[in-house]
Amino acid sequence: MGIPQLSKHQQQSRSNHGSGVNVNRKRQLCFPSTWAGVCIFNRSGGPGVASSKPAKESKNHDSDHLCSTVTQLHRFKMPELVIKTNVKKESIKSTILQDLTKILVEALQKPEKYISVVVIPDLWMSFGGTEEPCATCCLTSVNQFHDAEANRNYAKCVLNYLYDALGVSQERAYLEFNRSTRETMGYKADTFYGLLGPSS
């Protein structure tokens, strides 16, 4: 009996798997663009994800929508700003959430619906050994903050507003830039690694 011949499709599939190419990465999933409520995974714990199943082949009339959706997903950066302060809530500018959202929209060039701002007031904390008004902040985003000069601009925009809104001095506030990855950012009972594949 002769050796069975592989079809071109089978040969290509074998070639991809043999070379370590993630075939599923080439297929993208479409899902709703409601991105509220994201959780961050500790890097030391590892991603711990299951890859998403390949999407069914799109029909011609769906191809434009699929490409548009994938483009939006790859541009999505999930900005989240968390502010911890010992300033009492009643002493903080009442429009701080809305104001910082607008600042981040302009600075990061991201749609407002993707941006989360969290302010945690009334904390028992010190800065420089005293309990005078102070704050520590963390701005998180996926695959961002590579550019040192851009980070300087983000710091200027956010901190200059906070000095006034919280009533803290420039010497008593930190802003950390947390560059997360798809492997360490969870959403919809999965991670962005599972939904979009490895970070490019």
CATH number of the 80-180 domain: 3.30.429.10
Number of CB atoms found within 10 A of residue 86's CB: 20
26-31-33 Cα angle (round to 5): 120
| 33-77 pLDDT per residue, tens | 333 333 433 333 333 333 333 444 444 444 444 444 444 444 445
Tell me, yes or no, if 79 is annotated catalytic: yes
- Within 13 Å of residue 13, how many CA atoms lie on the same side as its CB? 6
Percentage of the chain with pLDDT > 90? Answer: 45
Distance CA 88, CA 107 (A): 27
Give the domain ranges of the chain.
80-180
Number of CB atoms found within 10 A of residue 104's CB: 24
| 100-129 pLDDT per residue, tens | 999 999 999 888 988 999 999 999 999 999
pLDDT at 5: 56
| 166-190 pLDDT per residue, tens | 999 999 999 999 988 888 888 789 9
Distance CA 12, CA 79 (A): 39
pLDDT at 8: 53
Q: Which residue has the tokens 């939904």?
A: 195
Lowest mean pLDDT segment, chosen from 74-83, 149-158, 175-184: 74-83
pLDDT at 188: 83
pLDDT: which is higher, 173 or 16: 173
- Helix ranges restricted to H, the chain: 8-18, 63-75, 96-108, 148-162, 192-196
Q: Could you tell me the two tokens for 34?
A: 């409601």
pLDDT at 143: 72
pLDDT at 46: 34
pLDDT-based confidence at 198, cuts 50/70/90? confident
Spell out the residues 6+ positions from residue 15 whose beta carbon is closer than 8 angstroms to its own: none
Q: Could you tell me the two tokens for 66?
A: 């699929």
Q: What is the mean pLDDT of the chain?
A: 73
Instruction: Flag whether the pTM goes above 0.75.
Output: no
pLDDT-based confidence at 26, cuts 50/70/90? very low
Distance CA 90, CA 119 (A): 12
Q: Of the residues 47, 54, 79, 111, which is catalytic?
A: 79
pLDDT: which is higher, 191 or 90: 90
